[in-house]
Amino acid sequence: MPANPFNAFTDYGIGIGLRVPHYQHILTRKPVVDWFEIISENFMVDGGRPLEVLDQILEQYQVVQHGVSLYFGSADPFDRAHLKRLKTLVKRTRTPWLSDHLCWGSVDGTYTHDLLPMPYTFAAARRTAEKIRQVRDYLEIPVCVENVSSYVEFHVSEMTEWEFLTEVVERADCGILLDVNNIYVSSRNHGFNPYDYVDGVPHHRVAQMHIAGHTKFEQYILDTHDHPVIDPVWKLYAHAIRRCGVTATLLEWDDKIPSFGEVHGEALKAHEFIDGARAAQAPRRGRTAGSSALAR
Ligand SMILES: [Fe+2]
């Protein structure tokens, strides 16, 4: 098995997304949380309340940046001003890694603000990997790409989604943010076996996982992040943890957000699987928190 370049992140534990309805609770009660994931775009501003809150959070907690607008799969070149603002935020948060999605979302400078699925072709993989390398080299931090949930497929695709993800991350030499819920949602929408997906990605590149709840409609499943995680997704997560070993995990809950306690409690259910993986596979990864220069 190749050395895991993301070993430094294995013991980050279980995080939750930093969301506005929880600000007051977090700042006044200071709950014990392994780390918070922030949406970078919410803090790429010059000042004001968002950065004031962020600075207070950073005094107490580890923060990891997750983005929604790099569009690695778009053919457009990057917006240099956007990257510059992103780098300013990276320096502020000292995020150990940065993630964004394996998707496209813009054409000729017009942005859809959607995470659109890609055609799984070798040409697209080459171009996407090149753009990931550009971001990593500019930001000077490890970059991870996240699989999106999807509802359509392209006739021109030359491989499965997990083969495409593998092709991209191997070419880019980057990490994977494996969204287990997205795999489950897409598997139901497109009719593939989600376990084939989990088994098919390079496990040594999985630096982080996402879990989330979704909404089931008659003909399809929508990735809504507004429910607790369902049992089949926990089962798939358990399998992913067995295959990848101890992995930093984050619960996404972005709509109909309940109390901080409810969100955190749902996230902490992942402990059962992570602790099991730690006990069974500790020698496999053989590292402890902070054992790498990459760790804060
Ligand atoms: Fe996700």
Does residue 294 sit within a domain? no
Interval between CA 192 and ligand 1 midpoint (Å): 19
Interval between CA 209 and ligand 1 midpoint (Å): 8
- In this prediction, residue 193 carries a pLDDT of 98
Interval between CA 129 and ligand 1 midpoint (Å): 20
The stretch 239-245 carries a mean pLDDT of 94
Interval between CA 35 and ligand 1 midpoint (Å): 16
Does residue 24 sit within a domain? yes
Interval between CA 273 and ligand 1 midpoint (Å): 19
Interval between CA 252 and ligand 1 midpoint (Å): 7
Does residue 291 sit within a domain? no
- In this prediction, residue 295 carries a pLDDT of 29
The stretch 244-257 carries a mean pLDDT of 91
Q: How much is the mean pLDDT over the chain?
A: 89
Does residue 101 sit within a domain? yes
% of residues, the chain, pLDDT over 90: 74
Q: Note down the domain range covering 103.
A: 7-285
Interval between CA 68 and ligand 1 midpoint (Å): 10
% of residues, the chain, pLDDT over 70: 90
Q: What is the pLDDT of residues 11-67, one digit of tens each?
A: 899 999 999 999 999 999 999 999 999 999 999 999 899 999 999 999 999 999 999
Interval between CA 224 and ligand 1 midpoint (Å): 10
Does residue 117 sit within a domain? yes
Interval between CA 179 and ligand 1 midpoint (Å): 5
Interval between CA 182 and ligand 1 midpoint (Å): 7
Does residue 293 sit within a domain? no
Does residue 31 sit within a domain? yes
Interval between CA 186 and ligand 1 midpoint (Å): 12
- In this prediction, residue 286 carries a pLDDT of 45
Interval between CA 109 and ligand 1 midpoint (Å): 25
Judged against a pLDDT cut of 90, whether residue 127 lies above it is answered with yes
Does residue 251 sit within a domain? yes
Interval between CA 211 and ligand 1 midpoint (Å): 7
- In this prediction, residue 237 carries a pLDDT of 96
Q: What is the pLDDT of residues 80-112, one digit of tens each?
A: 999 999 999 999 999 999 999 999 988 887 887
HSE, side-chain direction, 13 A CA sphere, residue 210: 30
Interval between CA 53 and ligand 1 midpoint (Å): 23
CATH number, position 261: 3.20.20.150
Interval between CA 275 and ligand 1 midpoint (Å): 22
Structurally, how many domains does the chain consist of?
1
Interval between CA 233 and ligand 1 midpoint (Å): 13
